Amino acid sequence: MDIKKVGKFIASCRKEKNMTQKELAELIGVTDKSISKWERASIYQIAH
């Protein structure tokens, strides 16, 4: 799995729904910092 593609997919889906990172984070029960790291493909955050 290409981590960068996953991050781009998350960002694309979120933007398609006109959601902020904070709104998505609240919806799925994580922090907005986590969403940011996922979208930037921070491998450490995704792996843990």
What are the pLDDT digits (tens) for 1-48? Answer: 688 899 999 999 999 999 999 999 999 999 999 999 999 987 555 555
Whole-structure pTM value: 0.79
Report the distance separating Cα 18 and Cα 44, nearest Å.
Answer: 27
**pLDDT for residue 47:** 57
**pLDDT for residue 12:** 97
**pLDDT for residue 44:** 58
Report the distance separating Cα 25 and Cα 20, nearest Å.
Answer: 9
**pLDDT for residue 41:** 85
Kindly give the residue spans of alpha helices, DSSP state H, lying in the chain: 3-16, 21-28, 32-39, 43-47
Q: Sketch the domain layout of the chain as residue ranges.
A: 3-47
